[in-house]
Amino acid sequence: MSGFEVEAVAFTEEDADPELEEVEYDIVLDGLEQLDRQAASDLTDMFEDLSALHDGDGEAANVAQVAARLGEDSVLIERILAAEGWYDATVTTRIDRADVPSGQPLRAVIEVTPGPRYSFAEIVIDSPPVEPPTLIRDNFALRVGEPIVAERVLAAEAQVAVALPENGYPFAELGPRDILLDPDTGEGVYTLPVAPGPRSLFGDIRTTGDLAFDAEHVEVLARFERGELYDSREVDDLRQALVATGLFNTIAVVPQPTGSAAEDGTHYADLVVTQDAGPPRTIAGSAGYGTGQGPRVEASWTHRNLFPPEGALIVRGLAGTREQGAGVTFRRSNWRQRDRALLLVAEALHSDFDAFEAYTGRLAAIVSYESTPLWQKRLTYAYGLELLATNEESFDPQLADFKSRTYYIGALNGQLGFDTTNDLLDPVEGFRVTALVQPEASVEDGFSPYVRARLDASAYLGLGGSLVFATRARLGTIQGIERIDLAPSRRFYAGGGGSVRGFGYQELGPKVEVPNPKYPEPDEIDPDDDPEDLPDPTVLRPIGGRSLVEAAAEVRYRFGNYGVVGFVDAGQVYEETTPSFDDIRFGVGIGGRLYTNFGPLRVDVATPIARRRGESRITLYVSIGQAF
């Protein structure tokens, strides 16, 4: 072998094999026209989707390649016909060259004789009795007399395989089907063996592996109780809830027979939860910008299971030109009940806005029943209490200026929401209504109770294609306290990216004119300077109010991962406790959206209608999520 020499053979042009020349070809499929129009069309579509000849786009390296593709497609059309019930079809193929004009493509011809289409003469389900007796038959879609179509056979069997575990048979198995064809009658007898196994109830939950939490907490996540009839849908729901905790690399929930029988003859099936705990720590960050609010960056560190089960510690920091703060939150997810959370919050915040400057410490305890990306709920609620100590600049009418004042506030919170929308972050249909009631008391100069209340509503309507119309409204009132006695941070304001776009943050509502702290002192003014170059000697500062009204409408158009939005916002804040609906201000604008797997990124540009002193001509807002 080592001494065997191989030399390349060179062919002259005259010796070249015509079978090696590149060729073009057409495809002819004859015979399907014998069938009804719909069947012929469906079979042709299936053939063209899978055909080797069609994949070649009418070109081949040589005639031999055309022949090879033709052979593949002859087998393909036989399989397609058999899958649709034509078991006796015959297929012949040929390549036409003699009758093809010179210079024209070859013809790859497939001639089909379909023969009779077989149908079911009898359907036999070979199974012991089940409960209810018609369970298998009711979930088996095949009927005597219909054609024997492979796709429908598989779908019917799959439905039985799903229905049995959903109705108390977790260990059901389907045996190999048998279809006996009679070529004389064109009919077939179908037999399906089914071993349903014992009818079972939910037993105990046991857990194994690298545990994130114990079986007792798994039972909190389950929506079923021991002794209920086994339903695989409840098991799937439990598996999803375990995944949603974010605490596992992998998780498996598998039924296991116990051999233990109940009084009614059913058996108990335990669930074995195999856990593989994943990394519990997360670092997250977000950034945004709003006119009047400035840029802001927020970062957090979370240990999602520092206090098992699902006891998370969250450390948060906020940095911006107008806000700085830090806080610690303890969150117990699925607290004593599925989807209910307990939050304990301690935070310190410095805010420096045109409306007020505040140094605030806050303690809060909140219980919430909330929607999640996996389970969006119709009805949600939250309740809790908070304690605040805050030193804020408040406008004093007697001094005609702002002065610092310390407030001590205790508050109860109650929130109720109703949601019919199709998506939490980017809805295109449905509506939402949320009511918030906060009984509060200011205790720095005695006990002064009052109530803050707010109602939010939004609606969404798909207009066909990628067009959505969205609208929202907000009403707010504060009852039982004069504005001067109310901490500025607890008053109502309007304006900004989450309020009335076209205006700066908290810019709408009652204002007072005060000296401009940036106006130079008399001895600092150069007589040669142009007076028009100097800032205004006074500025307007919002002081908030006790009632609020807002509304907005958007038209959203999405194309691929991008979108554009046109919007009109309106709103106003009033000193009185009831909105008077006068002097409503409007802003209009346009926005861009970048749709990601965690929600849309939003950039909105807006301008106020009938702009007034101190208001910017253009406002910009950058954040995550739709405006509403």
The per-residue pLDDT for range 376-433, each reduced to its tens digit, is 899 999 999 999 999 998 877 776 777 889 999 999 999 999 999 998 888 999 999 9
Return the SS3 of 391: strand
Specify whether 93 is located in the same domain as 163: no
Specify whether 126 is located in the same domain as 215: no
Residue 474 has pLDDT above 50, yes or no: yes
Give the confidence band of 102 by pLDDT, cuts at 50, 70, 90.
Answer: low
Predicted confidence at residue 530, as pLDDT, reads 67
CATH of the domain at 78: 3.10.20.310
Pick from 277, 294, 317: which residue ends a domain?
A: 277
Residues 6+ apart with CB under 8 A from 352: 322, 323
Specify whether 231 is located in the same domain as 261: yes
| Average pLDDT for 523-546 | 78
Return the SS3 of 138: helix
Considering the domain boundaries, does residue 579 fall inside one? yes
| Average pLDDT for 354-376 | 90
Specify whether 497 is located in the same domain as 563: yes
- pLDDT > 90: percent of the chain: 73
Residue 101 has pLDDT above 80, yes or no: no
Domain residues for 129?
A: 119-195
Taking the CA atoms of residue 604, residue 605, residue 609 and residue 612 in that order, the dihedral angle to the nearest 10 degrees is 110
Give the confidence band of 5 by pLDDT, cuts at 50, 70, 90.
Answer: very low
Considering the domain boundaries, does residue 2 fall inside one? no
Considering the domain boundaries, does residue 3 fall inside one? no
Angle between helix 150-166 and 63-83 (nearest 10): 50
Each residue's pLDDT tens digit, 422-472 = 988 889 999 999 999 999 998 877 788 999 999 999 999 999 878 999 999
Pick from 113, 141, 157: which residue ends a domain?
A: 113
Predicted confidence at residue 25, as pLDDT, reads 92
Residue 256 has pLDDT above 50, yes or no: yes
Predicted confidence at residue 362, as pLDDT, reads 97
Predicted confidence at residue 99, as pLDDT, reads 60
Report CA-CA distances (Å) from 322 to 294, 356, 466.
6, 11, 37
Considering the domain boundaries, does residue 226 fall inside one? yes
Specify whether 443 is located in the same domain as 398: yes
Which amino acid is residue 453, in one-letter code? Answer: A
| Average pLDDT for 357-376 | 91
Beta bridge partners of 112: 91
Specify whether 369 is located in the same domain as 511: yes
The whole-angstrom separation of Cα 614 and Cα 612 is: 6
Is 107 within 8 Å of 76 (Cβ atoms)?
Answer: no
| Average pLDDT for 554-567 | 94
Residue 330 has pLDDT above 80, yes or no: yes
| Average pLDDT for 540-562 | 94
Which amino acid is residue 561, in one-letter code? Answer: N
Each residue's pLDDT tens digit, 168-180 = 999 999 999 999 9
Predicted confidence at residue 6, as pLDDT, reads 37
Is 196 within 8 Å of 164 (Cβ atoms)?
Answer: yes
The CA angle 235-238-256, to the nearest 5 degrees, is 40
Average pLDDT, the chain: 90
The whole-angstrom separation of Cα 180 and Cα 605 is: 71
| Average pLDDT for 197-215 | 95
| Average pLDDT for 253-282 | 94
Specify whether 309 is located in the same domain as 426: yes
Residue 17 has pLDDT above 70, yes or no: no
Predicted confidence at residue 313, as pLDDT, reads 97
- pLDDT > 70: percent of the chain: 93
What tokens appear for 154 in the block? 């598989």
Which has the higher per-residue pLDDT, 228 or 292?
Answer: 228
Predicted confidence at residue 591, as pLDDT, reads 95
Considering the domain boundaries, does residue 334 fall inside one? yes
Predicted confidence at residue 283, as pLDDT, reads 94
Give the confidence band of 98 by pLDDT, cuts at 50, 70, 90.
Answer: low
The whole-angstrom separation of Cα 111 and Cα 216 is: 67
Residues 6+ apart with CB under 8 A from 581: 549, 572
Residues 6+ apart with CB under 8 A from 592: 562, 563, 564, 565, 602, 603
| Average pLDDT for 494-507 | 92
Specify whether 83 is located in the same domain as 33: yes
Predicted confidence at residue 29, as pLDDT, reads 93
Specify whether 164 is located in the same domain as 261: no
Residue 2 has pLDDT above 50, yes or no: no
The CA angle 314-316-318, to the nearest 5 degrees, is 165
| Average pLDDT for 134-152 | 95
Specify whether 124 is located in the same domain as 225: no
Residues 6+ apart with CB under 8 A from 103: none
What is the distance of C-alpha 583 from the center of its chain?
39
What tokens appear for 10 in the block? 């060179």
Considering the domain boundaries, does residue 300 fall inside one? yes
| Three-state secondary structure string covering 600-625 | EEEEEEEEECCCCCCCCCCEEEEEEC
Which amino acid is residue 421, in one-letter code? Answer: T
Is 310 within 8 Å of 280 (Cβ atoms)?
Answer: no
Specify whether 329 is located in the same domain as 412: yes
Residues 6+ apart with CB under 8 A from 18: 63
Predicted confidence at residue 9, as pLDDT, reads 34
Count of domains forming the chain: 4
Is 453 within 8 Å of 476 (Cβ atoms)?
Answer: yes
The whole-angstrom separation of Cα 619 and Cα 606 is: 5
| Average pLDDT for 554-570 | 95
Specify whether 261 is located in the same domain as 294: no
Residue 15 has pLDDT above 50, yes or no: no
Considering the domain boundaries, does residue 186 fall inside one? yes
Pick from 178, 195, 212: which residue ends a domain?
A: 195
